[in-house]
Amino acid sequence: MWGSETFNVDATPTTRMKILVTVAEAATVDDEFSVDGLGIDEQYLTHDINEWDDYAVEEAVQIAEAGSDVEVITATIGPERAEETIRAALAKGADRAVRIWDDAIADRDLLDAETKAALLAPVVEAEDPDLVLTGVQAADSGFAATGVTLAERVGYQWAAVVNDLDVEGDADGGTASVHRELEGGVEELTEVDLPAVLTIQTGINEPRYASLRGIRQAQNKPLDVRTLDDLGLDAEALASPLRWTDTYVPESEGEATVFEGDAAETAGELAGVLREQGVGE
Amino acid sequence: MTVLAVAEHRRGELRDVSLELIGAGRALADAVDAPLHVVVVGGDVDTFAERLNREGVDAIHTVAEGEEHNHDVTVQAVSALADDLDPAYLLAPHSVNGLDYAPALASRLDYPLVTDAIDLSVDGETLVVTREMYGSKVETTIAVEERPAAVTLRPAEWPRAKGRGDATVEAFDAPIDADAIGSTVTGFQEVGGGDVDITDADVLVSVGRGIGEEENLELIHDLADALGATVSASRPVVDNGWLPKNRQVGQSGKVVTPDVYIAVGISGAVQHVAGMKGADTIVAINDDPNAPIFDIADYGIVDDLFEVVPALTDAFEG
């Protein structure tokens, strides 16, 4: 883990380590829903912290708790509605928050990785963190590309799909020792120079629930809103050659035999099928 | 104009997704009337080139630099090659390593990027990419109105290229700036050993997020005992620490091919399905009739698992 002693190599009174965590809201869809234009009818959506980002917040807070002088800042691209999610991250231990929003963003139906990175980059450049943690992907759109795009854009090192992390600080910036979760039960062990962007995989830790005390404290933590103007960007920063053209419910390819009836009936029919296949003998 | 596909290998083995990229790349190259080029970076590139030389490949570029995937090397080498070739489209796998270099590569080349494609078509000058959203509940199309562009392809969605090609194989002398390499792979670790090998089981009772609480797992163990089955799980159950990693079925866990796979409270996200679609008989128990697991199930019960699972246990014990 983060060793506080390793970061006391010089005696400047500034914060010894800064971690920026991107926190996005992701929408989950009710079992029954309908498509409305390109999106899903809002009444069927629930917005909450993106599951992967929840693990990224927890990882940052654990590093902060193990160190002596670590500041955790969250950055969110999202409308005012997202402040509830941001406050929850503050309640779990982040120190302050930045929310990026603008009418020009609200007008866009598709924020691709390059656009999100363009919006986050000025915040990273202004904060100059040692470590940026993002979730591997957003649960709803699933592009899984923002973190690495951001790293390239701001000139940070990076590692994608991290499920174990140790940070060693030193005067030159330090190193992150990570495990990258590859396919098929194999992990890659990698050393990454800091500053770096790491995309965090679920399961890396156990995200906490906010305490009542944390929730109270979160109300007084700074949450700054930044418009395109504040970030020194113009609408050109949002230009994209990608156009979202259609959304539809795919035709089920399923040919499942679905048993009907109450639980005793359906279980009984399934048991019959399973016995025919030799199960339970 | 070309289509350029980036092959993937790991620990000395070319990965199957490389051949899928050739399959998809050939179709795309035909649609834009262009040759298909493939590049492989690192490892035993000559052996890899031989295996990549399938029907439909016009040229293979090899970059003999390092043994394993290093995203800095890949980004430097492929961006230099792309500068030379000026491809219409660049294809990379939507794999864990693809996610580690493709976004940076696209950004460095200033190519627009669409990830996790499940289908591609060309309409005039526009590339139409089909991808899923909201955990496979909907499909969307994204029109890419610019060339060049980069796309990552979901593994196991395209047929693998077959046959023997007559591609030219050329070593590409990529300028690699060692000072710009900021990460080093120090090793690999196998995870998920332990008490039980779920890949050996004939019958698996697999439990997912729908189980809700750790203490409810008892229902699953009871059912598995009654059936003489082994318990496995989808990712959320393992992430929560309720079952060990060696029980995880899916892309990052184990690939299983039992006679019977009973998915309980598992929605059937693509990462999970990748690990179990080879089961002979798939049974799904889920209260969401739209859960994607029903698309691949042979038998289904759309109901509350807390009702169905005890009833099924009773049916075998009674």
For residue B254, list chain A residues with Cβ-Cβ distance below 8 A. 184-185
Question: Any CB–CB contact under 8 A between B254 and chain A?
Answer: yes
Average pLDDT value for chain A? 91
Q: Does A148 touch chain B (CB under 8 A)?
A: yes
How high is the pLDDT of residue B318?
Answer: 66
Residue A10 has pLDDT above 80, yes or no: no
CATH 3.10.20.30 fits B3-180, yes or no: no
| Pick from B226, B251, B281: CB nearest A277 | B281
Angstroms from A22 CA to nearest CA on chain B: 17
- pLDDT tens for residues A28-75? 999 889 999 999 999 999 999 999 999 999 999 999 999 889 999 999
Q: Are strands A17-22 and A131-135 parallel, antiparallel or unpaired?
A: parallel
Cβ separation B131–A187 shorter than 8 A: no
Contacts of B143 in chain A (CB under 8 A): 242-245
- E-strand ranges in chain B read 3-6, 9-10, 13-14, 36-41, 59-63, 89-93, 113-117, 119-123, 126-133, 138-144, 149-153, 168-171, 183-190, 203-207, 230-233, 260-264, 281-286, 299-302
Q: Do A114 and B228 touch (CB under 8 A)?
A: no
Q: Using CB atoms, which residue from A31, A181, A271 is nearest to B290?
A: A31
pLDDT at A191 over 90: yes
Q: In this predicted structure, what is the pLDDT of residue A7? A: 44
Tell me whether residues B190 and A185 touch, CB distance under 8 A. yes
Which residues does chain A have within 8 Å of residue B69's beta carbon, measured at their own beta carbons? 188
CA distance, residue A23 to nearest chain B CA (Å): 18
The residues spanned by each domain of chain B are 3-180, 198-317
Least CB–CB distance from B133: residue in A141, A148, A271: A141
- Using the beta-carbon criterion (under 8 Å), do A113 and B113 form an inter-chain contact? yes
Cβ of B239 and A202 within 8 Å? Answer: yes
pLDDT recorded at residue A100: 98
Query: Using the beta-carbon criterion (under 8 Å), do B228 and A278 form an inter-chain contact?
Result: no
Q: Tens digit of pLDDT for each residue in A155-179?
A: 999 999 999 999 987 666 799 999 9
Q: How far apart are CA A48 and CA A84, in angstroms?
A: 9
A186, A266, A278: residue with CB nearest B188? A186
What CATH code is assigned to B198-317? 3.40.50.1220
Of the candidates A148, A186, A280, the beta carbon closest to that of B99 is on A148
Q: CB distance B289–A31 less than 8 Å?
A: yes
Q: Does B107 touch chain A (CB under 8 A)?
A: yes
User: Do the domains at B3-180 and B198-317 have one common CATH topology?
Assistant: yes
Range A94-122 average pLDDT: 94
Judged by CB atoms closer than 8 Å, whether chains meet at A257 and B146 is answered as: no
Write down the pLDDT at residue B232.
97
Please give the distance of CA B178 from its chain centroid, rounded to a whole number. Answer: 30
Query: With contact defined as beta carbons under 8 Å apart, do B266 and B234 qualify?
Result: yes
Instruction: Name A100's bridge partners.
Output: A77, A226
The first and second tokens of residue B258, run together, are 């039992």
| Residue A13 clears pLDDT 80, i.e. is over it | no
Q: Which amino acid is at B82?
A: A
- What's residue A236's pLDDT? 87
Which of A31, A158, A243 is closest, CB to CB, to B143? A243
Chain B, nearest residue to A244 by Cα: B142
> Which has the closest alpha carbon to A21: A67, A85, A84?
A85
Instruction: Note whether B190 contacts A266, CB cutoff 8 Å.
Output: no
Residues of chain B with C-beta less than 8 angstroms from the C-beta of A33: 137
Interface of A with B in 48-77 (CB under 8 A): none
Q: What's the mean pLDDT in A18-25?
A: 97
Chain A contact for B122, CB < 8 A? no
User: Quick check: A192 and B238 CB within 8 A?
Assistant: no
Q: Which of A40, A246, A271 sits opposite B312 (nearest CB)?
A: A271
Selection from B158, B257, B126, B119 nearest residue B198 by Cα: B257
Question: Which amino acid is it at A37?
Answer: G
The distance in angstroms from the start CA to the end CA of chain B is 68
pLDDT in tens, chain B (318 residues): 899 999 999 999 999 999 999 999 999 999 999 999 999 999 999 999 999 999 999 999 999 999 999 999 999 999 999 999 999 999 999 999 999 999 999 999 999 999 999 999 999 999 999 999 998 889 999 999 999 999 999 998 999 999 999 999 999 999 999 999 999 999 999 886 667 889 999 999 999 999 999 999 999 999 999 999 999 999 999 999 999 999 999 988 999 999 999 999 999 998 999 999 999 999 999 999 989 999 999 999 999 999 999 999 999 986
CB contact under 8 A, B296 and A254: yes
State which residue of chain B sits closest to A140, comparing Cα positions: B134
CA distance B68 to B8: 10
| Residue A274 burial (CB count, 10 A) | 22
Answer yes or no: are the C-beta atoms of B292 and B136 closer than 8 Å.
Answer: yes
Q: In this complex, how many residue pairs, one in chain A and one in chain B, have their CB atoms less than 8 Å apart? A: 264
Q: Are A124 and A20 in contact (CB under 8 A)?
A: yes
Query: What is the spatial distance between Cα A15 and Cα A22, in angstroms, rounded to a whole number?
Result: 20
ipTM of this model?
0.91
Distance CA A47, CA A25 (A): 6
Q: List the B138-144 sheet strands across, edge first.
A: A242-248, B138-144, B126-133, B119-123
At residue A238, the pLDDT reads: 87
Identify the structural domains of chain A with CATH numbers, from first to last. 4-238 (3.40.50.620)
Among the partner residues A28, A182, A255, nearest to B96 by beta-carbon distance: A182
Whether A213 shows a pLDDT value over 50: the answer reads yes
Is the bond into B289 cis (omega within 30 degrees of 0)? no
Q: Which residues of A touch B13 (CB under 8 A)?
A: none
Cβ atoms B41, B78 nearer than 8 A? yes
Q: Does B251 touch chain A (CB under 8 A)?
A: yes
B133 closest CB neighbour out of A142, A192, A278: A142
